[in-house]
């Protein structure tokens, strides 16, 4: 870097105020600080890229190519609302446990696909839980268990339960019935116990 040209300009006219300017002899690199009575303006430029900070009575605006903040603890709080927007991608990453908590409601919404993945996944709906879609598929690679005080399966058209081996057992009572007709069919049908018909 060659010689630096340093200037301090003092003007009483509105919009001017105090201006401190440092630039190299070629005029490619410059740093300036301006206090005009309404705002504080800082600018750093290398001739191709420029970063600016504008501080007013109620706003602070930062424009730069890359904004990096490093600290042991970062505490961001807003009295009303926090908005984060990215025209590209958004990534939240942590080496330890992460928590998203809301005292009211919480909505996660995506325009295409939502993926929840982990070695163990627990969904707990305290009072109630509802899963709804045009098509719902639940698959367990090893076993699938449904457990409750009462389980009800209902379909407006047809219910199919199939597998190489099927078993329906009630420790106290088992009932199989149809409103119009009930059909038991197999290569061999075996009935055991006391049989009551009628």
Instruction: List per-residue pLDDT tens for the chain, 198 residues long.
Output: 578 999 999 988 777 899 999 999 787 899 999 999 899 999 999 989 999 999 999 999 999 999 999 999 999 999 999 999 999 999 999 999 999 999 999 999 999 999 999 999 898 888 998 988 899 898 888 888 888 888 888 888 888 888 888 777 778 877 777 777 777 787 887 777 777 776
Asked if 84 contacts 92 with a C-beta cutoff of 8 angstroms, the reply is no
Q: What is the 3-state secondary structure (H, E, C) of 112-178?
A: CCCCCCCCCCCCCCCCCCCCCCCCCCCCCCCCCCCCCCCCCCCCCCCCCCCCCCCCCCCCCCCCCCC
Rounded to two decimals, the pTM is 0.70
Q: Rounded distance, CA 167 to CA 175, Å?
A: 13
């Amino acid at each position: 870097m060659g010689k630096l040209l340093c200037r301090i300009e003092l003007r009483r006219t509105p919009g001017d105020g105090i201006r401190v300017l440092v630039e190299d002899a070629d005029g490619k690199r410059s740093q300036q600080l301006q206090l005009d009575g309404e705002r504080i303006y800082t600018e750093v430029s290398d001739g191709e890229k420029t970063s600016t900070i504008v501080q007013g009575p109620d706003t602070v605006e930062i424009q730069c190519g890359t904004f990096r903040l490093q600290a042991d603890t970062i505490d961001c709080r807003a009295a009303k609302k926090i908005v984060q927007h990215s025209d590209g991608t958004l990534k939240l990453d942590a080496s330890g446990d992460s928590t998203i908590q809301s005292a009211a409601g919480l909505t996660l919404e995506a325009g295409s696909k939502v993926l929840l993945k982990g070695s163990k996944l627990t969904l707990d709906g305290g009072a109630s839980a509802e899963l709804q879609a045009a098509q719902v598929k639940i698959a367990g690679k090893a076993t699938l268990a449904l457990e409750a005080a009462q389980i009800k399966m209902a379909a407006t058209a047809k219910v199919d339960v199939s597998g190489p081996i099927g078993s329906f057992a009630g420790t106290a009572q088992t009932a199989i019935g149809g409103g119009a007709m009930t059909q038991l069919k197999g290569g061999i049908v075996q009935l055991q116990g006391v049989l009551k018909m009628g």
